Amino acid sequence: QVKLVESGGGLVQAGGSLRLSCTVSGTSVSDNEIGWYRQAPLKTRELVAIFAGDGSVQYSTIVNGRFTVSRDDARNTVYLQMNSLKPDDTAVYYCNAVTFRPWWGQGTQVTVSA
């Protein structure tokens, strides 16, 4: 059983920063691809970034250099550092791992006020 727990969301003013965490159990973050996604109200879930097991990172164009993904193998945790936040970044942020099937966390709410 794979479990992902997101944390670190909250309310922040435009231009501010947040760091989200995705702590994984049941599999190793260094052996699997871990993705960050987000879903805004009335919109479909969209990819933010993917951290591959080999350490390579792919970012969506929506990030535009503002977000950075990192990993702590000892804590089995992947982070999403978000800077220069905009109201359009308001969404529930989820992390995802794919083993023999996709696994999702419960999400963490990020709200950016104007």
SS3 23: strand
Q: What average pLDDT score do residues 64-80 get? A: 94
- Which pLDDT band holds residue 64 (cuts at 50, 70, 90)? confident
- Which pLDDT band holds residue 61 (cuts at 50, 70, 90)? very high
What letter represents residue 9's amino acid?
Answer: G
What is the C-alpha to C-alpha distance for residues 88 and 86, in angstroms, rounded to an integer? 5
Q: Which residues make beta-bridge pairs with 113?
A: 13
pLDDT at 98: 85
**Of the candidates 70, 89, 86, 67, which has an alpha carbon nearest to the alpha carbon of residue 78?**
70
Q: Which helix (H) or strand (E) holds 97?
A: strand 91-98
- Which pLDDT band holds residue 54 (cuts at 50, 70, 90)? confident
Q: DSSP string spanning 45-83?
A: -EEEEEE-TTS-EEE-TTTTTSEEEEEETTTTEEEEEE-
